[in-house]
Amino acid sequence: MINSAMMLAERRIQKELERDLLDYKYRYKKLEKCLKLTIEIDDNILKFMILEGYPFKTPIVYVNNINYRDRHKDKFLRYKELLKLINETVECPCCDTVLCKWSAGNSLIEIIKEYKEREEIYKRLKMVLNLNILRDQMGLDDLLYNYLIGYI
């Protein structure tokens, strides 16, 4: 039997699904101790595990079965210098997410919007990495390289 805290979480999620997620393809499942919401965005799968206490407690989020926060932190640490190159500054990858600043006023759509914004940044990072390969293999001069970086 689902307790009252899980019933409140479920009602809140139902409202969010009806209000915010009509444009998304999703699957929703009630498990014994949590609610599981899976959303397909482009070629990625976002998985939300909503535990008792939602919306007062942060959902656990995965992107392709990788913890959302860990994924962001890993990309930040790995590509810190490239992020600066494309004028993306993040002071603290652990604190720079909706999940870390979560309150009952937040909703899943905010996580989705943040995810989409970050994916755009990651696409730009991929372009820079590809440009770096071209520079190294074809001997692009710095003037042309810096010019092209300006468009990324």
Q: What single letter denotes the amino acid at residue 4? A: S
Per-residue confidence (pLDDT) for residue 2, from 0 to 100:
56
Mean pLDDT of 67-92: 84
The mean pLDDT value of the chain amounts to 89
Cα–Cα distance measured from residue 9 to residue 2, given in angstroms and rounded to the nearest whole number: 11
Read off φ and ψ for residue 38, nearest 5 degrees. -120, 125
CB neighbourhood size of 138 (10 A): 7
Alpha carbon dihedral 77, 83, 87, 88, in 10-degree steps, equals -50
Residue 39: the pLDDT is 96
pLDDT digits (tens, 9 = 90+) for 89-122: 767 777 788 999 999 999 999 999 999 999 998 9
Q: CA–CA separation, 28 vs 4, rounded Å?
A: 19
SS3 state of residue 46: strand
Residue 13, number of CB atoms within 10 A of its CB: 22
Q: Say what the pTM is.
A: 0.86
pLDDT above 70: residue 73: yes
Cα separation, 77 vs 148, in Å, equals 24
Q: Which residues, 6 or more positions from 95, have their beta carbon under 8 angstroms from its beta carbon?
A: 101
In whole angstroms, give the CA distance from residue 9 to residue 53: 7
* 62-75 mean pLDDT: 94
- Which range, of 5-9, 15-19, 36-40, 115-119, averages the lowest pLDDT? 5-9
DSSP symbol at 79: S
Residue 32 pLDDT class (50, 70, 90 cuts): confident
Q: Report yes or no: 62 and 68 within 8 Å, Cβ to Cβ.
A: yes
